[in-house]
Structure 1
Amino acid sequence: MNNFKVERKEAFRIIGFKTALTDGTSIHSPHFSSQKTAFFKSMIDNGQMATLRALAENPYGYAAVTKDQETVFYYSGVQSSQPLPDHAGEVWFPESEYLILSGSGGLSRLAFDQLEDQAFETLLTDTFEWEYSGGPVAEILLNGNPADAEVEVWVPVLKRK
C-alpha cells in the first residue's frame, strides 16, 4: 500500500453544482456511491459540466464531499477563482496537510470509492499518525477519462496527538 502520502497543499476553491447525499451521516459512506454517479451523469447530460469547464483553471475534474450539520453534500465541478455561475456553489479547501491517495485503471467512481475506503477504513485508524480533520474531501480525475481513470483523493488530516 504505497499509493498514499501526506503532503501540504495550498488553499484552493472548487466551484460546482451540489446535491445532498442520503442514507449516511458521516463524510464517507458506501451508500453514497450510486448517488454520486447519478449526479455526475446528470451534470454531463444537462450541460452543467460544460458550463463549468469554461471556467476551469486546469484540465482536471473535481468533486468535493462536505458535511454541513447532519447533511452530507456532493459537489461536482472544477477548480476556479472565477465568479460563480447561476445556481452553482463553492467549496474552499484550506491550506493544510492532506492524505493523498492515488489510483488508476477502471471506472473513476470505483477508483474513488476504493481510495476513500482505504483512507477511512484502513489508514485513518487509531494506529496511524494522522487523523481526519473534518474538512471537505476532494476527488480529482486527473486524465479526463472516467472509463479508464487516473484519480486522486485528498483527505484533510491533522497530526494525531
Structure 2
Amino acid sequence: MGNYTLEQKESFTVLGMGTDLKSHYTDYAGINKEKLDFWHAVQEDGRLDALKAVAKNDYIFAVNEAVNHKMMHYAGVLTDETLPDATRVIQFPKGDYLVIQGEAETADALSNTLTGIAFGQILPEAKDFAYVGGPNATVEMGTRNGSVYGEMWIPVVKK
C-alpha cells in the first residue's frame, strides 16, 4: 500500500473551469485522454492563466466530482473570487482527508499515479476509513529537480 497520511482539513473552496467526461467510468484510457486533452486546451486558451491570476497560492487543482450523474473534471485554484468563465465553485468539506504525496515528470503523470495509488491500492485495502463520495483533487504544488510534486486529497470518513 502506498505512503499516505490522514489529515484534518478545514473546509476550502476551489474555483474551477471544467469538462464533462464522456468515457465510461471503467475506461481509464478514455478518461485519461479526455483529461489530457482538457488540460492542453485550458493551458492553450488562457483559462488556466485566468484562474492563476485570482489564486490565493501557486497550487493548481485537478478536481474530480460527480455532478448531476455526470463525471466532471476541473482545473481549479484556491480563491474566494469568481470569474465569468468559471463553471463551478467546488466546496470541499471540513474533515478527514486521505493525503498521498508524489512526484512525477509531468502534472498529468502525477495525477494518474496518485489516482492509481489511491483508488487501486489504498482505498480498497483501508480498514479504518472509506471514501464515500464528494470532490477529490490532485494538487500540483510546484516543481523541483525537473519533476512536478504534489498531493492527492480525498475526503474520507472513519469506519
- TM-score w.r.t. the length of structure 2 is 0.89
Look up the match of 2:14: 14
**Displacement of 1:133 after TM fit?**
2.1
Q: Find the aligned partners of 1:154 and 1:31 in 2 and give their Cα distance.
A: 23
**Displacement of 1:93 after TM fit?**
0.3
Aligned pairs (5 A) from 1:3-152 = 3-25=3-25, 29-82=28-81, 84-88=82-86, 89-125=88-124, 127-143=126-142, 148-152=147-151
Structure 1 gaps, min length 5: none
Q: Which amino acid aligns with 2:84?
A: D
Q: Percentage identity across aligned positions?
A: 26
Q: Which moved more, 1:136-145 or 1:65-74?
A: 136-145
**CA 1:56–1:9: 2 relative to 1, 3 Å:** same
**Displacement of 1:69 after TM fit?**
3.4
**Displacement of 1:109 after TM fit?**
1.2
Q: Find the aligned partners of 1:149 and 1:23 in 2 and give their Cα distance.
A: 27
- TM-score w.r.t. the length of structure 1 is 0.88
Structure 2 gaps, min length 5: none
**Displacement of 1:151 after TM fit?**
1.6
Q: Which amino acid aligns with 1:21?
A: L
Look up the match of 2:153: 154
Contact 2:63–2:75 (Cα < 8 Å) also in 1: yes
Q: Which amino acid aligns with 2:32?
A: S
Contact 1:3–1:103 (Cα < 8 Å) also in 2: no
Match of 1:143, SS? strand
Q: Find the aligned partners of 1:24 and 1:96 in 2 and give their Cα distance.
A: 30
**CA 1:29–1:12: 2 relative to 1, 3 Å:** farther
Contact 2:56–2:79 (Cα < 8 Å) also in 1: yes
